[in-house]
Amino acid sequence: MSASACLANTRRRTTPPTTLRSRRRPDSDAAPVRLPLMPERWVREEPYVKIAIVLLAGAALWSILASGLLWSGFGDIVATPRSRSFWISMLSYGGLMYLAFGWRVSLWLRYRPMESVDDASLPSVSVVIPAYNEGPLVRQSILSAAASRYPADRIEIIAIDDGSDDDTWSQILAAARDAGDRVSIRTVRQPRNTGKRAALCRGFAVARGDVFITTDSDSVLEPDAVRNAVSPLVRDSSIGCVAGCVRVLNPRQSVLTRFLKCTFSLSFRFVRAYQNEFGGIFCTPGALSAYRADFVRRVADEWRNQRFCGRACVTGEDRAMTNLFLRDGWLTAYQDNAVVYARMPHTYKGLTGMFLRWARSNIRETVILFRFLFTRFRTRHLQAFRLNMCLATLSLVLPPVIIAGSLSLMLTQDGYLLRHAAVVILYAVTMSAVYFRNERDSDWVWLFLYQFFWVACLSWIIPYAAMTLRNTGWLTRGTPKTRMIATPRSFGVRRPCWRPLDRRP
């Protein structure tokens, strides 16, 4: 199959693998792997829920605009110096962000992923998969990597059991047996749990590839993901690492996973797409990243032994590795056609644990990045990268402050709650338009509900993360109660076909 055909196939396949069955074994009697879904009744009623959300949001916005409440009565609101300062700050920040949004949209519209190089140009790669208490899902992850459309003599898979106390090790061994002799699978078992960085370093130490591919044990790779992730490193010698496109493996499990499907699309297919235009991806995700192996070997000890505020850094290993590449002057890239599906938490506790872990590492690594941001650490796109990082830092710091100020005004000023709701709806309209252009499905509706959910239920995470920065726990690790079951004959190691439950072949 040609590189262009592979690229076309990757673009068409945007639905998560809710049913996994092999084209090589159409007569297989093994049950397909099925992802957990919400009750069928809820799924049937979802279109009506979406219609209700749109009608409510539209009616609310129309009522506020028609009443003139959005722009009238400001004299009362800015009567005190404190409220006047707050409004000036909020309007200045909002105006700046929308100017920045216009710049980012112009970059995003220009973005195109690099096409895959031919087989003869592909380097040797080592796919490193650390696992801790992952159970059957690690088997699925390994087999998806083994099914990659990549020359068999130039790919190896290294699976590391980081001291699990469930059946993760037996699942890794089963995956190695299922894959057969097509690819080299090396299995490593840590005697005790040492953390993800240590497990990755163990894998890097035994890896022989020119490029390291890291993926998580709860993630499933598309067949072309590895070759598409590697291609920018071949085409441009100034690129040091590449971020893949992470999608949600279980988007229909709950309302929260529906939210995450939308936010991940925006985070990767919008944010990282425009960052790619100035070579400034500042976080290559743990779910799928490609790194130049020589550089990783050079900085592995510094990366593993990183400390901040006097404590060892346990989380945020992906952002920390990206910072090391940036500091050394490398460009970083994003490949929209290197797709991986990652399982996401479906409960509020799991969601906040994940976001809190990300927030702490985001704050820490942003501080570290600012130590070299205003040096001549690179020659290409330096000013654009600096501008974007300053804007991203404002987006990290100011929203919680604005929400706190808004809360005080809601309690003291009549009509402010409706004004704030109108602003949230207008922002949701903007992001929904971006989402729809990328995905072309009706899930953009969930962004209206998510924006209100974020303000009410998630806006506390950044301030709390800043106050508890020294806490380095993983927060979401452990043995989940429910797993997806991977059956050996559900996978054809050469060319699997991901097919959703609700579509016919």
Give tens-digit pLDDT for 43-72: 788 999 999 999 999 999 888 888 776 666
How far is residue 368's CA from residue 362's CA, in Å, rounded to a whole number?
A: 10
Task: Dig out the tokens for 439 from the structure.
Answer: 């995905």
Domains and CATH numbers, the chain: 1-31+50-114+124-483 (3.90.550.10)
Q: Among 127-131, 312-316, 466-470, name the most confident range.
A: 127-131
More confident residue, 473 or 208: 208
The dihedral formed by the CA atoms of 168, 174, 175 and 180, expressed in degrees to the nearest 10: 160
pLDDT band at 474 (very low <50, low <70, confident <90, very high): low
Contact 126, 211 (CB under 8 A): yes
Give the pLDDT of residue 87.
72
More confident residue, 486 or 350: 350
pLDDT band at 2 (very low <50, low <70, confident <90, very high): very low
How far is residue 213's CA from residue 335's CA, in Å, rounded to a whole number?
A: 13
pLDDT at 500 over 50: no
pLDDT at 192 over 70: yes
Backbone angles phi, psi at 221, to 5 degrees: -85, 140
> Which whole number is the average pLDDT over 204-226?
97
Task: Dig out the tokens for 216 from the structure.
Answer: 């998580």
How far is residue 55's CA from residue 217's CA, in Å, rounded to a whole number?
A: 41
Give the pLDDT of residue 477.
54
pLDDT band at 7 (very low <50, low <70, confident <90, very high): very low
More confident residue, 186 or 84: 186
Contact 241, 284 (CB under 8 A): yes
Q: What percent of the chain has pLDDT over 90?
A: 69
β-strands 307-308, 155-162: how paired?
A: unpaired
pLDDT at 261 over 90: yes
How far is residue 102's CA from residue 386's CA, in Å, rounded to a whole number?
A: 17
pLDDT band at 399 (very low <50, low <70, confident <90, very high): confident
pTM confidence score: 0.85
Q: Work out the mean pLDDT of the chain and round it to a whole number.
A: 85
Give the pLDDT of residue 423.
85
pLDDT band at 470 (very low <50, low <70, confident <90, very high): confident
